[in-house]
Amino acid sequence: MFTFPKNLMSQKTPLAIALLFCLMVLLLVVTGLIITFLGDKFSNPVAALRICTVIQDILIFFTPAVAVAMISTRYPATLLAVDKLPDLRMTLLAVLALLFSIPFMNHIVEWNKHLTLPESLSSVEQMMRQMEEAAESQIKLLMGGKSVGNLIVNILIIGIMAGFSEEIFFRGALQRLMTVGGKAPHLMIWIAAFVFSAFHLQFFGFFPRLLLGAFFGYLLWWSGSLWLPVLLHSLNNSIVVIAEWRNTSGDEVADINRIGVDSASASDITLVAVSIVMTAALLFMISRRSRQIS
């Protein structure tokens, strides 16, 4: 398992975490003002949304993470874990784990989507579902377009850039700050994953995003390199983008996001069971590999 070098951080880690969130909130407000200003300058809503998404990634996630790392230590690249590349075998195992987890994760997505709150909280549930629908409509608008050019742009923005910016904030800065000294790493990984999922404000997608966040967090902990969760996050987002693009283009190929959930047949149940077993086995192999190279 990866541990921090001695004297990497001062004893002011809680202040660094507080500063991280203060900067994020401040830049969230600034981003809102910029987006409001730019919203009146573009006649093409898709182009405007893409530009706003890039601005959000840079200001809300990337900038606070880098700023806090530079303020907190003389070794900001080490704090953010961007100063080393992950082990190749571990990377291949992680990619396989992500791919094998798809049927199981699709099942979690479907289950979470149909969760209901108690009758006494029906108004809260209605509000949450309206927020969910608004977010989904924004994502569909962002991923609009049937051309290959649109696909490439969406992979760059939603896949690669979002994957990098979110990972450098939630894993590179937040999780790394919380795990300075190696204290309670498992708890901190799950806390960072919880914050990551909660930030998206999508309750009916909360649990699959929580599991993904924990997966990315453990990859960072096992490898000591932010580039591994960045790669897997970008790959996961890109798979979603490609699947949506194929659906928009009228492609007859089966939707990868529906594998294992379109029916309750024995084959689907078996597929999900195999997905769970293989994913768990691959995660164990990644963990064991981390001990071999540490």
Within-domain flag for 269: yes
Structural domain range at position 165: 82-293
Within-domain flag for 52: no
246 and 253 Cβ atoms separated by less than 8 Å = yes
pLDDT at 249: 67
String of DSSP letters for 26-91: HHHHHHHHHHHHHHTT-S-HHHHHHHHHHHHIIIIIIHHHHHHHHHH-S-HHHHTT-SSPPPHHHH
Choice between 280 and 137, residue whose per-residue pLDDT is larger: 280
pLDDT at 8: 56
Within-domain flag for 51: no
Within-domain flag for 61: no
Choice between 117 and 9, residue whose per-residue pLDDT is larger: 117
- When mean pLDDT is compared over 14-23, 39-48, 225-234, 254-263, the highest value belongs to 225-234
The residue type of 131 is M
Q: How confident is the model at residue 254 (pLDDT cuts 50, 70, 90)?
A: low
Q: How confident is the model at residue 293 (pLDDT cuts 50, 70, 90)?
A: confident
Q: How confident is the model at residue 9 (pLDDT cuts 50, 70, 90)?
A: low
Mean pLDDT value of segment 86-115: 94
Instruction: Report how far apart, in Å, the C-alpha atoms of 94 and of each of 14, 138, 222 are.
Output: 31, 30, 11
Q: How confident is the model at residue 166 (pLDDT cuts 50, 70, 90)?
A: very high
Mean pLDDT value of segment 2-17: 66
Q: Is the dihedral of CA 11, 15, 19, 20 positive or negative?
A: positive
80 and 62 Cβ atoms separated by less than 8 Å = no
Tokens of residue 281, six digits: 């086995």
The residue type of 223 is S
pLDDT at 3: 53
Mean pLDDT value of segment 211-240: 96
Within-domain flag for 196: yes
Within-domain flag for 75: no
pLDDT tens digits along 187-210: 999 999 999 999 988 888 899 999
CA-wise closest residue to 205 among 127, 112, 98, 107: 112
pLDDT at 7: 52
pLDDT at 248: 74
pLDDT at 268: 81
Alpha-carbon torsion angle 248, 276, 205, 232, nearest 10 = -70
Between CA 57 and CA 70 the distance in angstroms is: 19
Within-domain flag for 150: yes
Instruction: Report how far apart, in Å, the C-alpha atoms of 221 and of each of 90, 217, 288 are.
Output: 12, 6, 13
CA-wise closest residue to 35 among 51, 58, 47, 23: 51
Between CA 42 and CA 55 the distance in angstroms is: 15
Residue whose tokens read 């997505």: 109
Q: In sequence order, which ranges of the chain are alpha helices (DSSP H)? A: 13-39, 45-56, 63-72, 76-79, 88-100, 102-113, 122-142, 148-154, 162-167, 176-178, 185-199, 206-223, 227-248, 266-293
Q: How confident is the model at residue 287 (pLDDT cuts 50, 70, 90)?
A: very high
pLDDT at 277: 97
Is 264's pLDDT higher than 80? Answer: no
pLDDT at 159: 94
- 96, with CB counted inside 10 A (0-12, 13-18, 19+), is middle
101 and 275 Cβ atoms separated by less than 8 Å = yes
Q: How far does CA 118 lie from the centroid of its chain? A: 29
Within-domain flag for 138: yes
Mean pLDDT value of segment 151-157: 93
Number of domains into which the chain is organized: 1
CA-wise closest residue to 49 among 31, 35, 65, 64: 35
